[in-house]
Structure 1
Amino acid sequence: MAISLFAIFAILLVVGMPVAFAIAISAFGAVMIQGRYPSIVVVKEMFTGLDSFPLMAVPFFVLAAEIMTGGAMTLILLRFAAQFFGRMRGGLGYANVFSSTLFAGVSGSALADAAGPGAMMIRMMEKEGYDKSYASALTASAAIVGPIIPPSITMIIYAMQDERVSVGGLFMAGILPGLLISCCFAGANYIMSRRRNYRAAADRPALGQMLRNSIAALPALMLIVLIVGGIRGGIFTPTEASVVAVFYALFCGMFVYRSLKLSALPSILATAAITSGAILLILAAARAFAWVLIIERVPQSVAQYIVALELSPIVFLLAVNLLLLVFGLFMDPLPGVMILVPILAPIAHSLGIDPIHFAIIVIVNLTMGLVTPPVGSLLFVVSSVVKIPVTSILREMPIFFLANIAILMILTFVPAISTWLPRVSGF
């Protein structure tokens, strides 16, 4: 049954079937071909996959992101990020990376960061003489930090697949890797800006204006402190934190920045509902897919085979990196986590690899698949919002692909980047 499962899934992906439907149909097909179980069991597993209290955090974090990234809040954070770089060579490129890091703590979504503030940064960079293709490639690459710095829906889903890690622990673990990602892309921008002499025309604002911009940005930036601090302090669970984030976003939008109108709420709610529905449909289908793998004992068989090879932890992690890089070419992070973590996490545990270290490697690696074709969701989002061919963006991507490989190697060989903050925080 496992062979027919993967065969149907591969065929459906090749013909362009949306990922959620490809996963669900392949599970149905495998069960019907095998004939041992009624096909209704697939539907039952899909519903079971969504019958989880922690999953309630998904629509609430999505709604909080929609509220926080709308209106004046986006402009305020962009102004705060851009003010530090002035006429520095490559300054707007650094501001682009910095703003992606800031918005990661607000939205937790790579696609939202690229489509909202990212698109605005591309237009600003083009106006100052940056090549539009380069600005688009930098924006798409920097946006992958969205699901790494908390809050992160991907981390919530991962914690549901591996009981050895907690959502709070993963949230803390993502902070330093997220900053590492931003530093690596800032380094890539440094190289390209010196090579092409990219320089902004605007001077750095006066000190008083910078202070006003920073004070204005503080309420939005406090969201990540509220979420991580509340979870760490035991004030609320991650699911409760998502609800708190929604009310905090409403308060900031309506009373602090006064940019959110009641008339805009129906549109925001509709967008959040559509996004949440798409995410939950993928998760439901992936649960049915994973159930087929489990009843066929695929995770156990793979684990026994790999353990018998007597690989060292480092060799195993390098092999996992290669596997995930290939897997990420065709699969978004959420279904990737649902399908692969039940197989790979027990093996990593048996080899003595820290579960949080392994989780960060998996999450970062799969998130990088958002900028690798043929799926590459971030490439297509940026392409559509700024009206530029994907091929033009890809021509500028090699240096960012190299940065991605460097990031993975650093995270693989330096576990403390992932494990130090959770350890000192009590996770």
Structure 2
Amino acid sequence: MAEILFPALFVLLALGLPVAFAMAISVFVALSFGSSYPNIVVVKEMFSGLDSFPLLAVPFFILAAEIMTAGAVTLAILRLAQSLVGHLRGGLGHANVVSSAMFAGISGSALADAAGPGAMMVRMMERGGYDRAYAGALTIASSVVGPIIPPSITMIIYAMQDQEVSVGSLFMAGVLPGILITLLVLLANARVSHRRGYASGAPMPSLREIGRIAAHALPALLLIVLIVGGIRFGVFTPTEASVIAVFYALLVAIFVYRSFRLRDLPDTILRAAIISGAVLLILGAARAFAWVLIIEGIPQMLAETIISWDLSPIVFLLAVNLLLLAFGLFMDPLPGVMILVPILAPISFALGIDPDHFAIIVIVNLTLGLTTPPVGSLIFVVSSAVSLKPSTLIREMPPFFLALALALLLITFVPGLSTWLPRVSGF
């Protein structure tokens, strides 16, 4: 079946079909022409892939993000970011990066980062004298931290595929790598801003003013503390944390920022349901795709082959980076996690690589695929938001590709970036 499955998938992706439909149809084709299994197996496996208690966290985190991204919440975060770094050279660009990092602790999604505060910052940067294509490229790069700083939907899916990690440990493991990526993108923006003469966005506010702005943004930023702290101290599970996040988001949006009304709730739930449906459809199709691979014995064959090569952990990690970067050119992170983690994670564990460390390497690699053509979703989201061709944005990306590649190398070869925080926090 594999000799039919993969060509069918690549042809369908090349034709522009959404990833979920491409995977599901390729499985149907493989079963129809390469096996005696009935096609109903595809539907059964898709439902089996969604029949999971931890997976309930996904729609609730999406709903919490939809509630929290009301205008006043987003503006509070943007104002805080601008008050902290807006006075520096390239300050509006720095504010774009910092606000993405803050917003990551609310949304857990790179695409939400790009479509929310990222799109707003592009307009602000253009009014401040920045080239629109550069502002869009910076937004693409800064949005990468969305799935890396907790809470993260990708981390929830990863923990379902690898029993050696937990959602809580992955949430903690992503904090320092997320900060590292943010710092390196800030350095890239500083270098380009100095070369192009992009000025600061505003004079530096007083400490009292910064404190006032920070106090206004604090209720939104406390969401990440509530989620990670509650999971760490055993107050609730990750799935329960997602429900609590919804109620916290409602309280903050209604009573603190007054940017949300109860009559807005049905429309918000509908938007969250549509996004959740798209995500769950991808996960279900990925489960059916992975089932065919397992039936064909491909994971076991690859594992035995790689182990027989007797690779050192460093060489193995380098090979994994190349494989995942290539895979990310054609596949979104969620199906990538579901297909590749069951194959690669046991091998990394057998080689003595820390499971949290390996998980962050996989997640960062696959997330970087969102920034690269031909399937890079971030490119198309930002392209639509700023009304520019994807090719125009890609031409501005090299400084940020370099920063992201350096971050990936440091995350790969400095395990402490991913393992220190889970260890000291007791995960």
TM-score by length of 1: 0.98
The reply to whether residue 149 of structure 1 matches residue 149 of structure 2 is: yes
Cα offset, 1:201, TM superposition: 4.6
Can you list the C-alpha shifts for 1:348-372, whole angstroms capped at 9, x where unaligned?
1121111111100000000011110
2: CA distance, partners of 1:294 / 1:29:
17
The reply to whether residue 224 of structure 1 matches residue 247 of structure 2 is: no
Could you tell me whether the CA contact under 8 Å between 2:184 and 2:407 is conserved in 1? yes
Could you tell me whether the CA contact under 8 Å between 2:88 and 2:201 is conserved in 1? no
2: CA distance, partners of 1:421 / 1:50:
31
Aligned to 1:66: 66
Could you tell me whether the CA contact under 8 Å between 2:379 and 2:390 is conserved in 1? yes
Flag the 1:86–1:280 CA change in 2: closer, same or farther, 3 A.
closer
Cα offset, 1:101, TM superposition: 0.5
Can you list the C-alpha shifts for 1:75-107, whole angstroms capped at 9, x where unaligned?
011001101224321111111111000000011
1: CA distance, partners of 2:69 / 2:143:
14
The amino acid that maps onto 1:321 is N
2: CA distance, partners of 1:354 / 1:299:
20
Aligned pairs (5 A) from 1:216-255: 216-255=216-255
Aligned to 1:103: 103
1: CA distance, partners of 2:65 / 2:210:
26
Cα offset, 1:40, TM superposition: 1.1
SS of 1:311 mapped into structure 2: coil
The amino acid that maps onto 2:185 is F
The amino acid that maps onto 2:164 is R
Cα offset, 1:37, TM superposition: 1.6
Cα offset, 1:278, TM superposition: 0.1
SS of 2:80 mapped into structure 1: helix
1: CA distance, partners of 2:173 / 2:23:
30
The amino acid that maps onto 2:257 is Y
1: CA distance, partners of 2:116 / 2:7:
38
Could you tell me whether the CA contact under 8 Å between 2:86 and 2:94 is conserved in 1? no
Aligned to 1:129: 129
Aligned to 1:198: 198
1: CA distance, partners of 2:8 / 2:19:
12
Aligned to 2:367: 367
1: CA distance, partners of 2:397 / 2:347:
33
1: CA distance, partners of 2:12 / 2:150:
33
Unpaired segments ≥5 residues, structure 2: none
Aligned to 2:397: 397
Residue correspondences, number: 427
Aligned to 2:214: 214
The reply to whether residue 258 of structure 1 matches residue 228 of structure 2 is: no
Could you tell me whether the CA contact under 8 Å between 1:86 and 1:205 is conserved in 2? no
Can you list the C-alpha shifts for 1:293-349, whole angstroms capped at 9, x where unaligned?
111111100000011111111101101100111111111100110111111111111
The amino acid that maps onto 1:342 is P
Can you list the C-alpha shifts for 1:5-31, whole angstroms capped at 9, x where unaligned?
111111111111110011111111112
Aligned to 2:162: 162
Aligned to 1:183: 183
Which shifted more, 149-158 or 34-43? 34-43
Could you tell me whether the CA contact under 8 Å between 1:53 and 1:239 is conserved in 2? yes
2: CA distance, partners of 1:400 / 1:124:
20
Q: Percent identity?
A: 68
Could you tell me whether the CA contact under 8 Å between 2:91 and 2:201 is conserved in 1? no
1: CA distance, partners of 2:216 / 2:223:
14
The amino acid that maps onto 1:239 is T
The amino acid that maps onto 2:375 is V
2: CA distance, partners of 1:155 / 1:26:
26
2: CA distance, partners of 1:99 / 1:230:
24
SS of 1:203 mapped into structure 2: coil
The amino acid that maps onto 2:195 is R
Flag the 1:303–1:259 CA change in 2: closer, same or farther, 3 A.
same
Can you list the C-alpha shifts for 1:385-418, whole angstroms capped at 9, x where unaligned?
1212212111110111111211111011101100
1: CA distance, partners of 2:404 / 2:258:
39
Cα offset, 1:204, TM superposition: 2.0
Aligned to 1:26: 26
The amino acid that maps onto 2:402 is L
Could you tell me whether the CA contact under 8 Å between 2:86 and 2:200 is conserved in 1? yes
Structure 1 runs (4+) greater than 6 angstroms displaced = none
The amino acid that maps onto 2:6 is F
Aligned pairs (5 A) from 1:345-424: 345-424=345-424
Flag the 1:201–1:24 CA change in 2: closer, same or farther, 3 A.
closer
SS of 1:84 mapped into structure 2: helix
Could you tell me whether the CA contact under 8 Å between 1:329 and 1:369 is conserved in 2? yes
Unpaired segments ≥5 residues, structure 1: none
Could you tell me whether the CA contact under 8 Å between 1:76 and 1:216 is conserved in 2? yes
Aligned to 2:36: 36
Could you tell me whether the CA contact under 8 Å between 1:54 and 1:156 is conserved in 2? yes
CA RMSD, Structure 1 to Structure 2 (Å): 1.0
Could you tell me whether the CA contact under 8 Å between 1:329 and 1:375 is conserved in 2? yes
The reply to whether residue 296 of structure 1 matches residue 296 of structure 2 is: yes
Aligned to 2:115: 115
Flag the 1:201–1:77 CA change in 2: closer, same or farther, 3 A.
closer
